[in-house]
C-alpha cells in the first residue's frame, strides 16, 4: 500500500491490450491494507491477469465476504461492480448473481476465516454446484481485522503472535474443493507472482467452479517464527508440482519446452494450459490422485502448489439446469409472462 | 333425542391416520359437493410426520359461502382408534358419529346424545379385496360412498371426478367406482337416514378451488420472477414446488426447450436468501419462500438487502412459533419479526393476502414493489391459506400490464452524462438510481456494501453521510405508503362506535362474524389491513371509533404493537382479540369475543342515532 495518491493521468506510452485498456485501467482505489500484506500482491496479480486476458473491466463482477481479503475488491477493477456481502456467505450471493446473468465473469474473493470458518458450508456447496466463477481464497491462517485470532486453516501446533498454540486440526481448502467437485483447483503463493498470474488467467478462462487457495502471509499478525503461514515458512516448504503457461484461445503457442516435460490441456473454451512438469509423477487431470498427493505431502510438512486439478470439459450450473442462453436479467414480460389466455386455462382447470 | 338438521350448512370432520391415503379421498368428498354448486371450505389438520400419526380433514359445507373455519362438528367420520375419545367428544349434541364397527367398541366410549352410524368397513374390505394396499385405499373410497348415500351427494359427480383423475387408466377408474357403489349399497341397506343434506345449488359461480401456495407461485410466474432459491420447510415448500410445476409448463423456450427460469434448492435459508439477493443485485426478479425459522436465519441478509438497497421477495407462509413451534399449525406470529427483521434500524414492507386470489396478486405485486423500492418485500401468508384449498375469485391478469423495474440507469443515460450516485436522492422520494453490473465500461460501476457509505457509494464512516442515508431510507419508507395496497373497509349498516381491524387469513371468519354480530344488533365497522407501512387512513379510521378490536392469530398482539409504534395510535383505543392455539380462527370465536366486550363496554350509545 501507499499513503500517496496515485496520479490519475496515465503515461501516454503505457501499453494497451487488445480491448484498448492499459494496466492502470484495471486498478482500483488505493489499498488500505498493511504495507507488505500478501493480499496486495494478489490484487496486483488479478490486475495483471485481467489485463493480459483482454477482459473488459466492466464485464467482471467482484464479490466478497467480510475480512481483510474481502476488502480487496475495492482495490482492483475500479470500474467493475463489486459486492462486499456478509461474513461467510459470499458464495450464495455470487450464485444468485451468476443465475441472473451468465454472461459476466464472476470473481469471488474471500479469506480463510470467511471460507473455512464461518463460511465452510457455503464454500462446499458452491463447489458442488459448478458455478462458473473464479474463487480466490487469500489464506493467511489468521483473523486480521479482529487482530490475530486463529482461523480454521491454521495448522495444528502453529503459534500465534501472542504465543498461543493452535490445538485444532486445520481445514485444507484445496482438498475440500477437490472432494466437493470443483473442476479447477490450484494453490499459489502471494510471494510468487510468476506462478500466480497464469494460475488466475487459466482459472478465469475455466468454464466451471475454479478455486485457488493462495497462501498470503499476514504481515501484522502471522509472519513470526512458529507460524506456518509466514513468508519464510511458505518459501521453505513450497513444493510446486508444475509451472503454468496459459494461452487464451486466439493466441499462438510460442513457448518451447524440452521433450517429456510438457503437458498440454485444452479447456472447454478452446484456451490452452501448458504445464511444465516439475514433479514427473504428478497428473493434474486425476482428481482422486490429486487428493491423496496433496495429503501425502501435507503429512510430510510440504505445501503443494501449482495447478492441482483441472477437468477441461467441465460443465457449469446453467448447463445442468438448462437455462436459456440469454441472460435472465434481460428477459421482459414478453418472454416471462404467460398472459391472460393461459391464466384462463389455469382457472378452468381449478374448477 | 334431538337431531341436527341442516341443508348445505354443516361441518363434517374426518379423523384419519396419516399416510393411509385418506387425504385424497376426503378431498374427493369436498370436490363432489363443490360440483353440486355448493361452496365448501376444507381444512387439513395434519401432524409433522409421514405415516402413522393422527390427521384430520374438516369439510365445512356452506351455502352462504362462509369459508372460514366455523368451529364445532356436526358429523365425525372416526377412522382413527388412537383419537377416538377426543373425536367423539368433539361432536355437537344431536350430531352424528360414523365409524368402522369391525372391531367392537365398549358402550362406555360412546355418547348418548349423538347418533351413531356403524359400518364394518374393515370387514367389508377384507371380504372384497385380498391385496393389503387395496384394502387400505378402497376403505377410504367405501366410506366416501356411504357418506354420499347418507348426505344425498350425487354419485355421478364423484364418478366424473374419478373420470378426470384416472383418464386413460380404465382399470383404476372401474375399481374406484365399484368401491364407491359398495359403500353406497351398504349405507342404503343398513344405515338409518340422517338429517344433514346436500342439495344442488348454483352458489359457486366462476370461482376456483386452489391453495394459496400454488397461487403465490403462479403470481411469481406472472410477476416475472426468474430466480427462485429455497430450502424445504413446512408449510412453505409447496410454493417452490408449484413454481417448478408452473414454470415447466409456462416458461420453456418453445424452440430450444431451455428454461426461462432458474430454481435452486439451497443448502439452508442463509444460502437461499443470499442467492435471491445476488440475483436481485444483478437485475433478475427473484424470490424465496420460507416460514418463521427460515426468516430467523435470513435476518442478517435481510438487513444487508435493506441497507444496500437490493430487491428481494420473501413469501413467508407463517406457522406456529416460537422456535420449531407448531410446524403444521397456523399463526400470524411473524409480523414483528418480519417488520423489523435484522439488527440496526430496519423496517420492511409487508403484504397481507387474505386468500389464494390475493396470494397471486400480491406475489406479483411484491416483485414490482421490491424493484421500485429496491428493498426486501414480505408476502405474509400462512398455513391456513397456503396449504388448504380455498374457493377463491378466479385469477386475472391485464395483458397491458408491464413490469415496474424501478429506477435503473441505462448505458445511454450514463453516456449522456447523468450524475450517477447510487445512494443519491435525486427527486425527493428517497429512492436512488441503480445500475446493473456490466452496464457501462467506465461509468456507473460501484462497490455495494452493508457498511456506511456516502451518496456516491464510497465507503464513509462520517456521521453526516450516515444521517443522510438513514433519513433517505425513512423517506423511501414514506414513499412506500403510497405504493402498497390500501386497506379495505367493510362499513356497518348503521353508524358504529366500535370497529375491528384484521388481516390475512382472519378475513373469511371475520366477515362471517360481522354478519352474526349484526344479527345480534351489534354493528361494527371493519377494516382489513393489506400492507405495512400503514397509510394515514388507518390511523384516521382508528381515531374515529371509541374502541377498535384488533383480531390477530398470535399471542403477543403483534399488529397492535406495530400500530402503536408506527401509526401513532393511542394504545388505549385498541383492544386485541387473540386466537393462538394453532387452529384457524373461527367466526364463533370472533362473534363471542366481540359480543362479550361490547356488552361490557356499552353501554349506552353516545348519541341516539348511533348503535353499538
- Residue whose C-alpha cell is 406457522: B319
Q: How far apart are CA B225 and CA B218, in angstroms?
A: 10
| SS (HEC) of B270-320 | HHHHHHHHHHHHCCCCEEEEECHHHHHHHHHHHHHHHHHCCCEEEEEEECE
Q: Please state, in angstroms and rounded to a whole number, the distance separating the CA atoms of residues B149 and B156.
A: 12
Measured distance CA(A43)–CA(A98) in Å, rounded: 22
Decide: A278 and A257 in contact? Cβ < 8 Å.
no
Q: Packing angle between helix B155-165 and helix B132-151, nearest 10 degrees?
A: 140
Q: What is the pLDDT of residue B601?
A: 87
Higher per-residue confidence, B274 vs B131? B274
Backbone angles phi, psi at B331, to 5 degrees: -155, 170
Give chain B's mean pLDDT.
95
Domains of chain A: 23-349 (3.40.50.970)
For chain B, the domains span 6-197, 210-392, 407-484, 488-601
The DSSP call for residue B327 is T
Where does chain A have alpha helices with state H? 38-52, 68-71, 90-100, 112, 120-129, 173-180, 193-205, 231-237, 287-299, 317-321, 333-336, 339-349
Chosen from B273, B355, B445 to mutate, greatest number of chain A CBs within 10 A? B445
Sign of the alpha-carbon dihedral angle for A213, A215, A216, A217: positive
* Residue B98 reports pLDDT greater than 60: yes
Report in angstroms the alpha-carbon separations of A76 from A56, B282, B438: 13, 20, 16
What's the rounded Cα separation, in Å, for the pair A118 and A171? 12
CA dist A116 and A110 (Å) reads 10
Question: Looking at residue B133, what is its pLDDT?
Answer: 85
Helices B237-250 & B212-222 angle (0-180, nearest 10): 50
CA distance B173 to chain A (A): 20
Encode pLDDT of B30-65 as tens digits: 999 999 999 999 999 888 888 889 999 999 999 999
The closest of B413, B432, B428 to B374, measured between CA atoms, is: B432
Name B351's bridge partners: B379, B531
- Which parts of B436-558 are beta strand (E)? 447-449, 488-490, 498-503, 524-529, 531-532, 547-552
Average pLDDT over residues B563-587: 96
What one-character-per-residue DSSP string does B102-132 give?
A: SS---GGGS-TTSEEEEE-HHHHHHHH--SH
**B255 vs A: CB within 8 A:** no
- Which residue is associated with the grid cell 518459501? A235
> What pLDDT is stored for residue A126 in this prediction?
97
The confidence score (pLDDT) of residue A274 equals: 78
pLDDT of residue B387: 97
Query: Does residue B441 belong to the interface with chain A, where contact is any CB pair within 8 Å?
Result: yes
Interface contact flag, A96 B208, Cβ < 8 Å: no
Work out the minimum CA distance from B333 to partner chain A, whole angstroms.
27
So what's the pLDDT on residue A260?
53
What's B488-601's CATH class? alpha beta
Q: pLDDT digits over B185-213, tens only?
A: 999 999 999 999 999 999 999 999 999 99
User: Is pLDDT of B609 > 90?
Assistant: no
With 80 as the cut, is the pLDDT of residue B379 above it? yes
Q: Who has greater pLDDT, B243 or A253?
A: B243
B271 in A contact zone (CB under 8 Å):
yes
The Cα B371–Cα B434 span in angstroms is: 10
Residue B135 touches partner A, C-beta closer than 8 Å: no
Residue B12 has pLDDT above 80, yes or no: yes
CB contact under 8 A, B264 and A97: no
ipTM over 0.90: yes
pTM here is: 0.95
Buried/exposed code over B245-257 (b: 16+ C-beta within 10 A; e: otherwise): ebbeebbbeeeee
CA A37 to chain centre: 18
| B115 in Cβ contact with B97 (< 8 Å) | yes
Alpha helix positions (H), B428-484: 463-481
Nearest-CB residue to A92 (from B274, B397, B399): B274
Report the gap between the CA of A47 and the closest CA in chain B (Å). 16
Bridge-partner residues for A22, per DSSP?
A: A16
Interchain contact B494–A (C-beta under 8 A): no
**Subunit contact A122:B274, Cβ cutoff 8 A:** yes
Q: Which CATH number fits domain B6-197: 3.40.630.10, 3.40.50.11540, 3.40.920.10, 3.40.50.1100?
A: 3.40.920.10
Of B405, B388, B240, the closest CA to residue B314 belongs to B240
Contact B278, A92 (CB under 8 A): yes
Question: A98 to chain B: which residues are within 8 Å by CB?
Answer: 278
Handedness of CA B165, B170, B175, B181 (dihedral sign): positive
Query: Which of the residues A106, A328, A332, A344 would you substitute to probe the B interface, choosing the one with the greatest number of B C-beta atoms within 10 Å?
Result: A328
Backbone angles phi and psi of B296, in degrees to 5: -55, -45
- Phi, psi (rounded to 5 degrees) for A18: -65, -25
Lookup: cell for B512: 362471517
Contact: A85, B224; criterion CB under 8 Å: no
Compute the residue count for chain A.
Answer: 351
| Residue at grid coordinates 361490547 | B598
- The residue-averaged pLDDT of B561-570 equals 96
3-state helix, strand, coil in chain A (%, to 5): 35, 20, 45
Contact yes or no for A190/A41 (Cβ under 8 A): yes
Instruction: Classify domain B210-392 by CATH number.
Output: 3.40.50.970
> Would you tell me how many other CB atoms lie within 10 Å of the CB of residue B282?
29
| Domain pair B6-197 / B488-601, same fold | no
Q: Do residues A62 and A73 touch, judged by C-beta distance below 8 A? A: yes
pLDDT (tens place) for every residue of chain A, 351 residues total: 455 666 667 777 889 999 999 999 999 999 999 999 999 999 999 999 999 999 999 999 999 999 999 999 999 999 999 999 999 999 999 999 999 999 999 999 999 999 999 999 999 999 999 999 999 999 999 999 899 999 999 999 999 999 999 999 999 999 999 999 999 999 999 999 999 999 999 999 999 999 999 999 999 999 999 999 999 999 999 988 888 887 776 565 555 555 456 777 887 788 888 777 778 778 899 999 999 999 999 998 889 999 999 999 998 999 999 999 999 999 999 999 999 999 999 999 999
Q: What span, in angstroms and rounded, lies between the C-alpha atoms of A309 and A282?
A: 10
Which pLDDT belongs to residue B1? 82
- Cα B4 from Cα B74, distance rounded (Å): 7
Of the listed ranges A280-289, B182-191, B242-251, B577-586, the one predicted with least confidence = A280-289
Biggest distance spanned by C-alpha atoms of chain A: 76
Number of A–B residue contacts, CB under 8 Å = 225
Instruction: Give the DSSP letter of residue A218.
Output: -
A residues 109-168 closer than 8 Å to B (CB): 121-122, 125, 129
Query: How far is residue B196's CA from residue B190's CA, in Å, rounded to a whole number?
Result: 17
> What does the alpha-carbon distance between residue A39 and residue A307 come to, in Å, rounded to a whole number?
20
Q: Which of B209, B218, B222 sits opposite A351 (nearest CB)?
A: B209
Q: Give the Cα separation of B215 and B395 in Å (integer).
A: 9
Residue-level pLDDT at A1:
46
pLDDT band at B444 (very low <50, low <70, confident <90, very high): very high
CA distance A344 to A350: 10
Cell representation of residue A139 = 489464506
Amino acid at each position: 500500500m501507499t499513503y500517496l495518491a496515485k496520479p490519475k493521468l496515465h503515461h501516454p506510452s503505457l501499453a494497451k491490450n487488445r480491448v484498448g485498456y492499459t494496466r492502470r485501467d484495471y486498478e482500483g482505489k488505493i489499498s488500505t491494507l498493511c504495507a507488505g500484506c500478501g493480499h496486495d500482491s494478489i490484487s496486483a496479480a488479478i490486475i495483471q491477469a485481467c489485463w493480459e486476458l483482454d477482459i473488459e473491466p466492466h464485464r467482471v463482477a467482484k464479490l466478497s465476504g467480510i475480512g481483510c481479503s474481502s476488502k480487496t475488491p475495492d482495490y482492483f477493477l475500479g470500474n467493475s461492480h463489486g459486492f462486499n456481502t456478509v461474513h461467510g456467505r459470499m458464495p450464495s450471493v455470487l450464485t444468485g448473481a451468476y443465475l441472473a446473468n451468465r454472461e459476466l465473469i464472476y470473481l469471488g474473493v474471500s479469506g480463510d476465516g470467511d471460507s473455512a470458518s464461518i463460511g465452510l458450508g457455503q464454500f462446499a456447496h458452491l463447489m458442488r454446484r459448478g458455478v462458473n466463477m473464479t474463487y480466490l481464497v487469500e489464506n493467511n491462517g489468521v483473523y486480521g481485522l479482529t487482530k490475530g485470532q486463529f482461523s480454521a486453516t491454521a495448522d495444528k501446533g502453529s503459534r500465534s503472535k501472542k504465543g498461543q498454540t493452535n490445538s485444532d486440526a486445520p481445514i485444507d481448502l484445496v482438498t475440500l474443493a477437490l472432494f466437493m467437485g470443483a473442476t479447477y483447483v490450484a494453490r499459489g503463493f502471494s510471494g510468487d507472482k510468476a506462478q500466480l498470474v497464469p494460475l488466475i488467467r487459466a482459472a478465469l478462462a475455466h468454464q466451471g467452479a475454479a478455486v485457488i487457495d493462495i497462501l498470503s502471509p499476514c504481515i501484522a499478525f502471522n509472519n513470526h517464527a512458529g507460524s506456518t503461514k509466514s513468508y519464510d515458512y511458505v518459501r521453505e516448504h513450497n513444493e510446486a508440482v508444475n509451472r503454468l503457461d496459459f494461452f487464451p484461445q486466439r493466441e499462438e503457442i510460442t513457448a518451447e519446452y524440452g521433450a517429456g516435460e510438457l503437458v498440454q490441456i485444452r479447456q472447454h473454451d478452446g484456451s490452452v494450459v501448458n504445464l511444465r512438469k516439475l514433479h514427473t509423477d504428478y497428473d493434474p487431470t486425476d482428481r482422486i490422485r490429486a487428493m491423496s498427493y496433496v495429503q501425502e505431502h501435507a503429512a510430510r510438512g510440504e505445501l503443494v502448489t501449482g495447478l492441482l486439478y483441472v477437468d477441461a470439459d467441465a460443465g457449469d450450473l446453467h448447463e445442468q439446469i438448462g437455462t436459456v442462453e440469454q441472460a435472465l436479467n434481460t428477459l421482459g414480460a414478453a418472454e416471462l409472462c404467460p398472459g391472460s389466455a393461459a391464466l384462463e386455462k389455469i382457472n378452468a382447470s381449478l374448477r | 333425542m334431538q337431531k341436527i338438521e341442516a341443508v348445505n350448512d354443516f361441518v363434517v370432520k374426518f379423523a384419519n391416520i396419516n399416510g393411509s391415503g385418506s387425504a385424497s379421498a376426503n378431498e374427493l368428498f369436498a370436490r363432489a359437493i363443490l360440483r353440486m354448486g355448493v361452496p365448501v371450505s376444507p381444512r387439513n389438520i395434519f401432524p409433522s410426520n409421514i405415516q402413522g400419526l393422527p390427521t384430520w380433514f374438516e369439510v365445512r359445507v356452506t351455502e352462504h359461502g362462509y369459508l372460514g373455519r366455523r368451529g364445532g362438528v356436526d358429523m365425525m367420520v372416526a377412522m382413527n382408534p388412537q383419537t377416538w375419545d377426543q373425536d367423539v367428544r368433539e361432536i355437537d349434541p344431536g350430531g352424528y358419529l360414523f365409524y368402522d364397527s369391525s372391531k367392537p367398541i365398549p358402550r362406555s366410549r360412546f355418547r348418548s346424545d349423538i347418533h351413531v352410524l356403524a359400518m364394518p368397513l374393515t370387514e367389508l374390505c377384507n371380504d372384497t379385496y385380498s391385496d393389503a394396499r387395496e384394502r387400505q385405499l378402497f376403505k377410504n373410497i367405501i366410506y366416501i360412498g356411504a357418506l354420499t348415500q347418507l348426505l344425498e351427494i350425487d354419485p355421478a359427480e364423484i364418478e366424473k371426478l374419478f373420470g378426470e383423475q384416472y383418464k386413460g387408466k380404465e382399470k383404476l377408474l372401474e375399481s374406484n367406482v365399484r368401491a364407491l357403489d359398495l359403500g353406497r349399497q351398504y349405507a342404503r341397506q343398513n344405515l338409518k337416514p340422517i338429517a344433514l343434506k346436500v342439495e344442488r345449488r348454483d352458489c359457486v359461480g366462476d370461482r376456483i378451488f386452489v391453495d394459496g401456495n400454488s397461487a403465490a407461485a403462479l403470481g411469481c410466474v406472472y410477476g416475472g420472477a426468474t430466480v427462485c432459491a429455497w430450502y424445504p420447510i413446512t408449510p412453505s415448500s409447496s410454493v417452490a414446488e408449484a413454481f417448478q410445476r408452473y414454470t415447466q409448463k409456462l416458461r420453456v423456450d418453445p424452440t430450444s426447450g431451455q428454461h426461462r427460469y432458474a430454481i435452486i434448492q439451497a443448502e439452508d435459508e442463509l444460502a437461499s436468501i443470499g442467492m435471491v439477493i445476488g440475483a436481485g443485485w444483478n437485475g433478475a426478479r427473484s424470490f424465496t419462500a420460507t416460514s418463521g425459522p427460515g426468516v430467523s436465519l435470513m435476518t442478517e441478509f435481510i438487513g444487508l438487502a435493506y441497507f444496500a438497497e437490493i430487491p428481494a421477495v420473501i413469501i413467508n407462509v407463517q406457522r406456529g412459533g416460537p422456535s420449531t413451534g407448531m410446524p403444521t399449525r397456523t399463526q400470524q406470529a411473524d409480523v414483528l419479526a418480519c417488520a423489523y427483521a435484522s439488527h440496526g434500524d430496519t423496517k420492511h414492507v409487508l403484504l397481507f393476502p387474505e386468500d389464494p386470489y390475493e396470494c397471486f396478486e400480491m406475489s406479483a405485486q411484491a416483485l414490482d414493489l421490491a424493484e421500485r423500492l429496491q428493498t426486501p418485500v414480505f408476502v405474509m401468508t400462512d398455513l391456513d391459506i397456503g396449504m388448504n384449498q380455498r374457493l377463491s375469485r378466479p385469477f386475472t391478469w391485464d395483458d397491458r400490464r408491464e413490469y415496474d423495474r424501478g429506477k435503473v440507469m441505462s448505458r445511454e443515460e450514463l453516456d449522456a452524462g447523468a450524475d450517477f450516485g447510487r445512494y443519491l436522492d435525486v427527486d425527493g422520494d428517497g429512492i436512488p438510481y441503480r445500475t446493473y453490473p456490466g452496464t457501462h465500461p467506465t461509468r456507473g460501476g460501484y462497490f455495494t456494501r452493508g457498511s456506511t457509505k456516502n451518496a456516491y457509494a464510497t465507503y464513509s464512516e462520517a456521521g453526516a453521510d450516515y444521517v443522510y442515508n438513514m433519513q433517505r431510507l425513512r423517506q423511501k419508507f414514506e414513499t412506500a405508503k403510497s405504493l402498497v395496497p390500501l386497506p379495505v373497509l367493510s362499513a356497518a349498516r348503521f353508524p358504529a362506535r366500535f370497529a375491528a381491524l384484521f388481516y390475512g387469513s382472519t378475513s373469511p371468519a371475520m366477515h362471517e362474524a360481522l354478519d352474526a354480530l349484526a344479527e345480534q344488533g351489534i354493528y361494527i365497522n371493519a377494516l382489513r389491513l393489506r400492507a405495512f407501512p400503514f397509510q394515514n387512513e388507518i390511523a384516521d379510521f382508528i381515531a374515529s371509533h371509541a374502541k377498535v378490536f384488533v383480531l390477530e392469530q398470535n399471542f403477543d398482539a403483534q399488529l397492535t404493537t406495530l400500530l402503536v409504534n408506527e401509526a401513532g395510535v393511542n394504545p388505549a383505543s385498541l383492544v386485541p382479540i387473540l386466537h393462538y392455539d394453532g387452529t384457524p380462527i373461527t367466526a364463533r370465536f370472533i362473534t363471542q369475543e366481540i359480543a362479550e366486550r361490547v356488552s361490557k363496554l356499552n353501554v349506552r350509545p353516545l348519541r341516539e342515532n348511533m348503535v353499538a
